[in-house]
Amino acid sequence: MRASRPAGRRVNAAPPADRAAPRVTPSEARLPKLDNLTLSRKEGWKQFVEASPRIRPEQLSPVQLRALGEGARADYDKARRIWHANLGPIKTPQLAALHEDLWDIIDSNLQDGDKAKGAVAIDAFPGLGKTTSVLAFARQYHRREFAAEGDYTTHGHERWPVCRVGLTGNTGMKDFNRALLEFFGHPGRFKGTTTQFGDRVLDCVLSCEVRLLIVDDLHFLKWRHTNGVEVSNHFKHIANEFPVTLILIGVGLAQRGLFSEGNSYADAVLAQTGRRTTRLGMEPFRIDTDEGRDAWRQLLLAVEQRVVLANKAPGMLAGELSDYLFARSTGHIGSLMTLINRGCQRAVRTGTEHLTAELLDTVKCDAASEAARRELEAALTSGRLTTKTTKINSRRKNKPSANMSGSGKRTGGAMRTAPRTVT
Ligand SMILES: Nc1ncnc2c1ncn2[C@@H]1O[C@H](COP(=O)(O)OP(=O)(O)OP(=O)(O)O)[C@@H](O)[C@H]1O
Ligand SMILES: [Mg+2]
């Protein structure tokens, strides 16, 4: 067990009159890791669903930061490291629109058992927030079902409204069923035939009243090999037999033939799944319209609000760095969040406590965005492109829009250019 530090050095000690103490983050230790392994078991999923929101470390001024003792400073910086590495999920227009569509589809999927349920495929490029958005949705859905129906089913089984599996390199049907059994911690997950595994899965799904089955990284499936056809048939079987809505997530699912009719047997089998599947996409941020530029600005304002650096000033990201950040991330939220996270770690480590283009230039980002960066930079520098809106409401110049809590405003389809609210 960790020895406790003298109270005077702890971050959560009562603050001396001359300085504010950074806010306590005792819940950090209990927050679940959001990795695939944790989420592949029901206990990990429950932890994720029930975790209370992270507590933002207190914003200290440079003077207050300097006044911290060594121990308190170490605790404060650690809290900031964790905080900056987990800044989301932000309610981007893409996330909000996807959630709206998912609620529509799932809540309309209440047909009786003999009718096949529609499936959803979220098909978009990497790093656009597919997994993040779906997990945030599934978390809300789980909580809603628990609140409405209780922890146990009428037959006394544990209720698990959501089951999530991630595919890996070479998933066949038996592996897929095993992964589902693994989620439930079923004792029969080690031995059995594919059919037996399938029967056990059905049993779990029915007993635990699963309503949402999420299959992430579907592109790992070798579609046109025997495994792919097998699993695709299996999805059809699930849609027919199981009272669940399937949410399939992957990259390039359309190109892999999930929605096409095709000529071969394999194509036809895939098409059968495709016919029952609603395709939703996620788009990167765009700056070719005022609406798009405003959404970008709102995102930066929301990120800026979350960043905890002593020298941060209003407009640090949304004003001075708007073009720069767009060029570096090419409008992909995954690249942007990586850059901000790494930039903040460096700003804390080096003591600059502020994000600038010079500092971010020293931070490496993912290879794909680095490759696209030069071209965009040239366009932005020459004025052919800009991230600045022509009409910015002066009242919300340096603040994210008022609707921060995102109280369920209808935002339209996930593929459409999204409206402005980012929370
Ligand atoms: N709404 C959001 N708010 C904050 N950060 C986000 C949001 N969406 C995505 N991110 C960030 O972008 C990163 C990539 O997101 P995510 O893993 O959800 O993308 P993906 O589309 O599932 O990518 P892949 O296809 O590689 O699985 C996340 O690690 C997260 O940091
Ligand atoms: Mg993903």
CATH code where residue 150 lies:
3.40.50.300
Q: What is the mean pLDDT of residues 173-200?
A: 89
pLDDT score at 9: 33
Q: What is the mean pLDDT of the chain?
A: 79
The answer to which of 13-22, 125-134, 294-303 has the lowest mean pLDDT is 13-22
Q: Is the CB of 109 under 6 A from ligand 1?
A: no
Residue that terminates a domain, selected from 256, 280, 304: 280
Q: Which tokens go with 249?
A: 């997530």
240 and 97 inside one domain = yes
pLDDT score at 2: 38
Q: Report the alpha-carbon distance of residue 321 to residue 357 in Å, rounded.
A: 7
Residue 28, domain member (yes or no): no
84 and 134 inside one domain = no
Residue 21 predicted with pLDDT over 70: no
Nearest CA to ligand 1 atom 15: 129
Domain span at residue 358?
A: 61-91+286-398
294 and 355 inside one domain = yes
Query: pLDDT digit string (tens) for 307-342?
Result: 999 999 999 999 989 999 999 999 999 999 999 999
Q: What is the mean pLDDT of residues 262-279?
A: 64
Residue 169 predicted with pLDDT over 90: no
Alpha carbon of 407 to ligand 1 centroid (Å): 22
Residue 319, domain member (yes or no): yes
pLDDT score at 259: 64
57 against 114, higher pLDDT: 57
Q: Give the percent of the chain with pLDDT over 70.
A: 74
Q: How confident is the model at residue 377 (pLDDT cuts 50, 70, 90)?
A: confident
Q: Which tokens go with 26?
A: 């005792």
334 and 261 inside one domain = no
Alpha carbon of 334 to ligand 2 centroid (Å): 10
Residue 353, domain member (yes or no): yes
Residue 254, domain member (yes or no): yes
106 against 368, higher pLDDT: 106
Q: Is the CB of 92 under 6 A from ligand 1?
A: yes
Query: pLDDT digit string (tens) for 216-261?
Result: 998 887 665 665 667 677 777 777 778 889 999 999 887 776 665 5
Q: Is the CB of 171 under 6 A from ligand 1?
A: no
Residue 419 predicted with pLDDT over 60: no
76 and 170 inside one domain = no
Residue 406, domain member (yes or no): no
214 and 318 inside one domain = no
Residue 53, domain member (yes or no): no
SS3 track for the chain: CCCCCCHHHCCCCCCCCCCCCCCCCHHHHHCCCCCHHHHCCHHHHHHHHHCCCCCCCCCCCHHHHHHCCHHHHHHHHHHHHHHHHCCCCCCCHHHHHHHHHHHHHHHCCCCCCCCCCCEEEEECCCCCCHHHHHHHHHHHHHHHHHHHHCCECCCCCECCCEEEEECCCCCCHHHHHHHHHHHHCCHHHCCCCHHHHHHHHHHHHHHCCCCEEEEECHHHCCCCCHHHHHHHHHHHHHHHHCCCEEEEEECCCCCCCCCCCCCCHHHHHHHHHHHCEEEECCCCCCCCCHHHHHHHHHHHHHHHHHCCCCCCCCCHHHHHCHHHHHHHHCCCHHHHHHHHHHHHHHHHHHCCCCCCHHHHHCCCCCHHHHHHHHHHHHHHHCCCCCCCCCCCCHHHCCCCCCCCCCCCCCCCCCCCCCCCCCC
Residue 410, domain member (yes or no): no
309 and 205 inside one domain = no
103 and 230 inside one domain = yes
Residue that terminates a domain, selected from 247, 280, 313: 280
Residue that terminates a domain, selected from 265, 280, 295: 280
Alpha carbon of 136 to ligand 2 centroid (Å): 13
- Tell whether pTM > 0.85: no
Query: pLDDT digit string (tens) for 53-106?
Result: 889 999 999 999 999 999 999 999 999 999 999 997 999 999 999 999 999 999
178 and 301 inside one domain = no
Q: Is the CB of 128 under 6 A from ligand 1?
A: yes
Asked if residue 81 lies in contact with residue 345, where contact means CB atoms within 8 angstroms, the answer is yes
Residue 179, domain member (yes or no): yes
392 against 376, higher pLDDT: 376
Q: How confident is the model at residue 413 (pLDDT cuts 50, 70, 90)?
A: very low
346 and 384 inside one domain = yes
Alpha carbon of 403 to ligand 2 centroid (Å): 28
Ligand nearest to the CA of 135: 1
Query: pLDDT digit string (tens) for 286-309?
Result: 998 999 999 999 999 999 999 999
Q: Report the alpha-carbon distance of residue 419 to residue 254 in Å, rounded.
A: 26
85 and 133 inside one domain = no
Q: Is the CB of 251 under 6 A from ligand 1?
A: yes
177 and 84 inside one domain = no
pLDDT score at 161: 95
Q: Which atom of ligand 1 is closest in space to residue 250's alpha carbon? A: 25
pLDDT score at 258: 67
Q: What is the mean pLDDT of residues 181-210?
A: 91
Q: Is the CB of 130 under 6 A from ligand 1?
A: yes
Alpha carbon of 130 to ligand 1 centroid (Å): 6
How many structural domains comprise the chain?
Answer: 2
Q: How confident is the model at residue 418 (pLDDT cuts 50, 70, 90)?
A: very low
Asked if residue 245 lies in contact with residue 105, where contact means CB atoms within 8 angstroms, the answer is yes
pLDDT score at 270: 57
